Amino acid sequence: AISIPNDSRSAESLKQLDQEIKLLSQFKHENIVQYYGSETVSFPSNLS
C-alpha cells in the first residue's frame, strides 16, 4: 500500500505512476514478472 498526500505535486506523481503501470502491464514475456493489477482508494483526510 502507498499513502499519497492530497496535493498538486502528489497528484502529478500519481498520474505518472498510473502511466507507468499501464505501460508495464502490457509486457508479456517469460522473463518479466506479470503485472496483475492495482487499485486506488480514497480515504477521509482525518484517517492516518
Q: In this predicted model, what pLDDT tens digit does every residue of 1-48 receive, in sequence order?
A: 666 666 777 788 888 988 988 888 888 888 888 888 777 777 666 655
Instruction: Quote the pLDDT of residue 45.
Output: 63
CA angle 7–11–15, rounded 5-degree value:
175
CA distance 43 to 35: 25
Q: Cα-atom radius of gyration of the chain, to the nearest Å?
A: 14
CA angle 6–43–21, rounded 5-degree value:
65
DSSP 5: -
Instruction: Quote the pLDDT of residue 34.
Output: 83
Instruction: Quote the pLDDT of residue 39.
Output: 79
pTM above 0.75, yes or no: no
Contact predicate 24/32, CB 8 Å: no
